[in-house]
A and B are shown apart, each in its own frame.
Chain A
Amino acid sequence: MTSHAAAIPMDQRRPEPGVEFYTMKLGMWIFLLSEIMFFTSLIGAYVILRFAHPEQWAYPGEVLNVPLTAINTFVLICSSVTMVKAFAALEHDDQKGLQLWLVATILLGSTFVGVQVYEYIHLAADGFIPVAANYSAEGGPLYGSTFYLMTGFHGLHVTIGVFALIGVLIRSMGGHFNSKKVGGVEIMGLYWHFVDLVWIVLFTIVYLV
């Protein structure tokens, strides 16, 4: 061991002055950058394929149920609001409010996934499946391929988010968070808002355009 290290014990370390992010929050931001690239590859592939083969795409509303998904989009946006309310409650040390708003977020998120499953079942019953065949005049195989891949991976992200929210809820019931310990709730919020934001892009380009 060197004799001339300065006298700061390792367990009292603080970040460099000027570093505003605490480690977990920084980690989540960095992870979300990588998620942006993942959805970029899916959306980029969609855009390229659609420009190359416009004849395989149906007009909006011909195959997909736009009103139902519009309501579902509203549900997901509401869940972002309840997530914000949960974080606001925590900042005021309102434990009851935190748990209430977390439950609301979980319910709205589950509703979104439930409606998506319902939508998939109906589409599959109508013969809209991602299997290579010219299943209908309204859309070719690429339409189904890109639809299921993009919405499916978004749904997977929402599902993971719901389970993570349940984890945060359990920890909040154990008194894990307070107005000075907001880490888990705040980074969960970042993830949740990101997933909502991606859905707004997906809803626009998959359903409305």
Chain B
Amino acid sequence: MSHVATKTDYDLLPFAGEHHEELSFVRKYIFSTDHKTIGKQFLFMSLLFLLLGGTLATVMRWQLGFPGTPLPVDILPETMAPGGIILPEFYNSLVTMHGTFMIFFAIMPLLVGVFGNLLIPLQIGAADMAFPKLNMFSFWLAVPAGFIMLASFFVEGGAAGAGWTSYAPLSTSGEFTGVYLGQQLWLISLFLLGFSSITGAVNYITTIINLRAPGLTWFRLPLTVWALFITAILVLLAMPILAGGLIMLLTDQTLGTTFFKPELGGEPLLWQHLFWYFGHPEVYILILPAMGIVSEVIANGARKPVFGYHSMVFAIAAIALLSWIVWGHHMFMSGMNPRLGMTFMFTTIVIAVPSAIKVFNWLGTLWKGNIHFTTPFLHSVAFVALFIIGGLSGVFMASTPVDIPIHDTYFIVAHIHYVLFGGSLFAIFSGITYWYPKLFGTLMNETWGKIHFIGTFIAYNLAFFPMHGIGLQGMMRRLYDPTLYAYLQPLQPWNVFISYSVFVLFAFQFIFAANFLLSIWKGKKAGPNPWRANSIEWSAPSPPPHGNFERMPVVYRGPYEYSVPGAREDFILQTDPPDSSVAPHHTSASTSH
């Protein structure tokens, strides 16, 4: 570092204008310390892994819809699918890797890596993160993690096959799954990714606490920043728990320790405790930033202040706190003292209260709004609708008497996809389209954006809603061939229907990919504030230069002052001085969209 921050003169890093000479290609695009470039790097990396995770899902759906039929495109090696027919061991790897890639390498870096990096400094009026080099380090730790995970497909025995939760003792030894090296690479990869996330979280929390612009008090922060702040705390405290478990499982596999090996006195349930003590906060790591994005986009689309801003913040905090005391609901089926089960059931159902507060506040924001149906707004409203369905099916699993018959069926697959795809991913689509100008300076095409939205929304519901039904009728998850069971054979038309829906859903994502890539060059020039929004990032040029702001923004008001009576326009930038809000002032900052 060129200089060290000191106690006496608050020599904060980094400054705009510090390293703004022309940087070499490598320093500018590859080993960049600019938070926006790192955000873009995370974006491209995680979109590639999202595509990979989706491809794995279509291969799985081929097997479930048409078991034993050769794949139409026979490019997989003999060890995975000889003659195009998927082997059971490879199917296990598919299930495991689809979950792993989607959760750890797609949704989590998209929400935390992309939006955390892009939005935190811009929305708090900072020039960059508190530790730009640490930020670069955390991206370049995530890349090898991804490659190690990818490489595990090509080692002897194939990729890990014990499910994304890697339950012991299935995962402690290759004798059960036939996978030795692949499972170990899975552990090493996640350990690296966890380290990357922790360094990122340290950076986010420090930045939000110390680098806010003057006047930007805690309750003037946009809800996205609030959500990312609380998410970063969850990452900071949850990831090390997983790291401990991963190390124990790795030494069990390689050095002969016996933490999770019951035959030598170990406790397989200990893995489940460690995993879910991390894993349940992780569930909220994957949804809280999405809730922040949606709050912002819905207020913008409805041209109204967020209904109940303070209760939104407290609801996020309450969800985060509760997420630490509910992990046991993942283990209702593992054998549990009924009183303990009752406790976990109660705490889990209590999470519905802050979640419902958020949902009603979104509806309150929409109520009597002057609604603009932009693509990001549509995705955000879809989030609310689908999150309600996913949240309601969550109450089924939270209740022990209902959970016991439906656990580990397709009902739970439907639930997770309603909150993770219908929830997080729709919010990600919303966020990418909404903040696209701050990434590339242009707008994504609205027509193609809406076609993608409608196709995705319909195909998504056709694909995942029927899963509730086949789950209730007893179809287990992680099942290789449903037609082998007489009681599942009547459900096979549903499996075919779901598979076709998934293929359509997958195909529609290429519209998004094309729109995303082509708009970089062909998109309409955005101007600084194309959505006529309030928060600080919209006072910077699109895309903002290295250092973001020419002069430090000073904040006079909250982020959601839409449609203020007496104001000249239906939005007032947070940086507008108090007397300017009624004056004819916004000639440079507002452009039409």
Contact = CB atoms under 8 A, between A and B. Distances in A.
Interface stretch (A62-70, A99-107, A177-185): A177-185
Contacts of A21: 209-210
The winner among A23, A38, A140 for most chain B CB atoms within 10 A is: A23
Interface string B190-214: 0000000010011101100111101
A44 B273 CA distance: 10
A86 B589 CA distance: 53
B426 interface: no
A130 B4 contact: no
10 contacts: A2-B528, A5-B575, A10-B549, A33-B236, A37-B240, A45-B245, A130-B251, A141-B257, A141-B265, A176-B4
Interface in A149-190: 149, 153, 176-177, 180-184, 186
A140 to B, nearest CB: 6
A137 B36 CA distance: 60
B370 interface: no
Contacts of A16: 212, 214
A1 B553 CA distance: 11
Interface string B495-534: 0000000000000000000000000000000001000000
Given A6-B551, A45-B259, A45-B274, A56 B265 contact: yes
B384 to A, nearest CB: 32
Contacts of A10: 15-17, 127, 547, 549-552
Contact of A34 (B17, B236, B264): B236
B554 interface: yes
A48 interface: yes
Contacts of A12: 552
B35 interface: no
B258 A27 contact: no
Interface in A1-27: 1-16, 19, 21-27
Interface string B545-584: 0010111111000000000000000000101110010000
Contacts of B84: none
B87 to A, nearest CB: 31
Which of A5, A25, A35, A53 counts the most B-chain CB atoms under 10 A from its CB? A5
A23 B12 contact: yes
Interface string B396-410: 000000000000000
A182 B7 contact: yes
Interface string B253-278: 00111110100111100100110010
Contacts, number: 211
A11 B7 contact: no
Interface of A: 1-16, 19, 21-27, 30-31, 33-35, 37-38, 40-42, 44-45, 48-49, 52-53, 56, 130-132, 140-142, 144-146, 148-149, 153, 176-177, 180-184, 186
A15 B211 contact: yes
B388 interface: no
Contact of A5 (B239, B267, B539): B539
Contacts of B209: 19, 21, 26
Contact of B552 (A9, A38, A53): A9
Given A45-B244, A183-B5, A34 B201 contact: yes
A22 B553 contact: no
B337 interface: no
A22 B7 contact: yes
A22 B258 contact: no
Interface of B: 4-13, 15-18, 127, 130-131, 134, 198, 201-203, 205-206, 209-212, 214, 236-241, 243-245, 247-248, 251, 255-259, 261, 264-267, 270, 273-274, 277, 528, 539-541, 547, 549-554, 573, 575-577, 580, 585, 588-589
Given A30-B202, A180-B6, A49 B131 contact: no
The 4 closest A-B pairs by CB, nearest first: A41-B244, A38-B240, A6-B554, A145-B257
Contacts of B9: 180
Contacts of A22: 5-7, 10-12, 210
Given A41-B274, A48-B267, A1 B540 contact: yes
B266 A142 contact: yes
A11 B5 contact: no
A51 to B, nearest CB: 10
Given A131-B255, A180-B6, A186-B7, A53 B206 contact: no
A131 B206 CA distance: 42
Given A23-B131, A30-B206, A37-B238, 14 more contacts: A2-B588, A4-B575, A4-B576, A5-B575, A6-B577, A9-B552, A10-B547, A13-B127, A26-B210, A33-B237, A38-B241, A41-B241, A142-B259, A142-B266
Contacts of B259: 45, 49, 142, 145-146
A40 B239 CA distance: 12
Given A41-B244, A42-B244, A45-B259, A23 B589 contact: no
A145 to B, nearest CB: 4
Contacts of A186: 7
B248 A149 contact: yes
Which has the most chain A C-beta neighbours within 10 Å: B5, B201, B256?
B5
A48 B206 contact: no
A31 B551 CA distance: 31
Contact of B210 (A23, A48, A56, A180): A23
Indicate the member of B245, B265, B539, B588 with the most A CB atoms within 10 Å.
B265
Contacts of A131: 255-257
Nearest to A179: B8
